[in-house]
Amino acid sequence: LPGDQAAAEVKMAAVAAAGVWALLWPLLLSGARAGPEFRFASYYSHHMVLQVKPARAVVWGYGAEGAAVHVLLFNEDQFFSDQHTTVLKDDAVGGNGTWKVWLDPVSHGGPFMVLAQQSIAGLVESIGINDVYFGDIWLCGGQSNMQFTVSQVMNASEELALAPRYPHVRLFQAGMFQSPSELNDLATIGLQWSVPTGSNLAHFSAVCWLFGRDLYDKLQYPIGLVESCWGGTPIETWSSKRALQKCQQTYTADVGDRNERGPHFPTVLWNSMIHPLLQMTIKGAIWYQGEENTHSYNDLYNCTFPAMINDWRQAFHEESGGQTEIDFPFGFVQLSTFRHNSTDDAYPRLRWHQTANYGYVPNPVMPKTFMAVAMDLGDEKSPYGCIHPRYKQEVAFRLYLGARAVAYGEDIPFQGPFPKGIDQRNTTLVIVYTQELTVVKLSANAFEVCCSMKKNSSASQWIFAPMIKSSSNTVTLSVEQCRQEIIGIRYAWEDWPCELKQCPLYNQDYHPLPAPSFSIHPFE
């Protein structure tokens, strides 16, 4: 059929009776009509989730250069979007071109069908995907603790058994691949869009799944989860050259690097596992990474992390045609624990740098971010190593609380208490907190003060300042052991600062959240 006539007949058929539709749809999806040149991009498939209104979801793919492409979105009752475009030349895809449309905004729900038709020289090819839902898409990135699967968590069998209750939380997993240059599409796919089952969920990111499941329980509309992570990787591999240059880092990528913990050359995973996703309209991102940077450019993390977030935001916004918010919400997990009684402060320093040296988020350098503190979730008996704690349900729930507050605008507690004032009174320090406190115990070694002969002196030392009493929002420390001038104070400044959910300080809420670690110098 000529292109215009074919489009008209498809539209008429879409609003026909269900019996007629049942006969038409298999024909439209028949592989016999679809040529090898005309196809969707790699991450468009049956069972996928597209971003709900007010955003416009992007749909793109490949076709014959110069062809007219007609994209329809509909269900058995009505049309929701009808868009046209032309296949443009794209030297990066081997002689084919690319096409892209922005669907009209659609309310949450489904299922929908997406039909794309290519018309050129009087010939029409049709491709389609069905069981498509509209909801919120969250990107889940990072290294091994994000890659840590549902089958590895505490009570894994119970978690996997719950999969059938969540048919509208859909899963997608980018394949692990590295590239020396930016790719427009994914080179490999680990898991194509799927309805969750015990089988596919067993190999999916636990934090990503549990976060999405919690969101679905609250929002009661579809959630799309896109996992893109690789264990043992530093932040530099996930950052673009632009982002690294903002932190005075310049590198040349080389995919020959395969560190035993994962790729280490800068930009190689940004190029292959993030850049290809930029045209996808998303709601937000969550991130669990940092362990690798405890011994690699640790003290640049206060620059590289905010720079990466800002760069991702800008890139997703631009490549989606402005449909992904330029300040989309970004949540992350602050580092948990690794070693008991370590004298190395790499972990607390990295935790501090994860907040751009503020100790809390959101902050002026990291707006619209949220953080799950995890230093009280150490798992010394984890069969996957202490660096991989199994308490991912708690991690995900703390992220979920942050998303409700920052991404969805709810007025709920989502972070632990932080100092808002410090008063020195002879041999005591009184710390005033931002929230009412739950004091688990009066610890003798959770707080330290920095004693110095004079300000800015190199002859200074950190000594313990025991907690001696508390009130609803204050903690009083004894500093009588400091015979010199106090120039700094820090809290939970250890690799493994407390046992499971037994840090000294939490907020008062139905779901207590630990006070984050800090190192401040209020008296300088």
Classified by CATH at the fold level, domain 134-408 comes out as: Rossmann fold (3.40.50)
The conformation of residue 52, written as its DSSP 8-state character, comes to: P
CA distance 172 to 63: 24
Domain ranges of the chain: 39-129, 134-408, 419-520
What lies within 8 Å, CB to CB, of 323 at 6+ separation is 51, 55, 56, 57, 58, 102, 281
Please report, as a single letter, which amino acid is at residue 512: P
* β-bridge mates for residue 138, sequence order: 225, 284
Q: Are 258 and 265 in contact (CB under 8 A)?
A: no
Please report, as a single letter, which amino acid is at residue 13: A
- In tens digits, the chain (524 residues) has pLDDT values of 344 444 444 444 443 433 334 434 444 444 334 445 899 999 999 999 999 999 999 999 999 999 999 999 999 888 888 899 999 988 777 668 999 999 999 999 999 999 999 999 889 999 999 999 999 999 999 999 999 999 999 999 999 999 999 999 999 999 999 999 999 999 999 999 999 999 999 999 999 999 999 999 999 999 999 999 999 999 999 999 999 999 987 665 556 555 567 899 999 999 999 999 999 999 999 999 999 999 999 999 999 999 999 999 999 999 999 999 999 999 999 999 999 988 899 999 999 999 999 999 999 999 999 999 999 999 999 999 999 999 999 999 999 999 999 999 999 999 999 999 999 988 999 999 999 999 999 999 999 999 986 655 667 899 999 999 999 999 999 999 998 899 999 999 999 999 999 999 999 988 999 999 999 988 65
Classified by CATH at the fold level, domain 39-129 comes out as: Immunoglobulin-like (2.60.40)
Give 178-201 as a DSSP string.
--SS--SS-S-EEEEEE---HHHH
Q: At which residue do the structure tokens 């230093």 appear?
A: 375
- The H or E element containing residue 135 is strand 123-142
CA distance 354 to 266: 19
Cα 212 from chain centre: 11
Whether 39-129 and 134-408 share one fold: the answer is no
Cα 304 from chain centre: 16
